[in-house]
């Protein structure tokens, strides 16, 4: 299913099962960028997911613009969504701006919805 959407690659670091990867992607697809009205996975905002031996999850992601005023809302939504899976002891979200986000990270669905396809 995810291959059909042509999602931007998300690097999984740590001991993840394929089922767990899909659950994480599904949960993150429920997080909407309120300015664009689309989920952060289809927008290509999620770069990496790390899981350590202490069962903590770290999300490395970006935003479409540096200084986005809704960054705290999106970060909070990511944490709530992943903690809601009740699999992780803690979720940390790290916002990075290198590499910068660009339109090449948009999924096929996002390109069509935004009229860029």
Residue 116 scores a pLDDT above 90? no
pLDDT in tens, 32-80: 999 999 999 999 999 999 999 899 999 999 999 998 899 999 999 999 9
pTM over cut 0.75:
yes
Instruction: Quote the pLDDT of residue 7.
Output: 87
Residue 1 scores a pLDDT above 80? no
Long-range pairs of 39-42 with CB within 8 A, sequence gap ≥ 24: 40/74, 40/78, 41/7, 41/10, 41/107, 42/5, 42/7, 42/106, 42/107, 42/109, 42/110, 42/113
Residue 117 scores a pLDDT above 70? no
- For residue 13, list its beta bridge partners: 50
pLDDT in tens, 10-28: 999 999 999 999 999 999 9
């Amino acid at each position: 299913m995810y291959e059909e959407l042509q999602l931007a690659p998300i690097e999984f670091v740590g001991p993840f099962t394929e089922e767990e990867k899909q659950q994480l992607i599904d949960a993150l697809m429920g997080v909407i960028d309120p300015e664009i009205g689309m989920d952060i996975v289809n927008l290509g905002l999620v770069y990496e997911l790390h899981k350590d031996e202490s069962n903590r999850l770290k999300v490395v992601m970006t935003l479409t613009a540096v200084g986005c005023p809704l960054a705290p809302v999106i970060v909070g939504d990511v944490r709530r969504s992943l903690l809601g899976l009740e699999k992780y002891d803690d979720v940390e979200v790290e916002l990075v701006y290198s590499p910068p986000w660009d339109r090449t990270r948009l999924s096929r669905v996002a390109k069509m919805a935004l009229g860029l396809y």
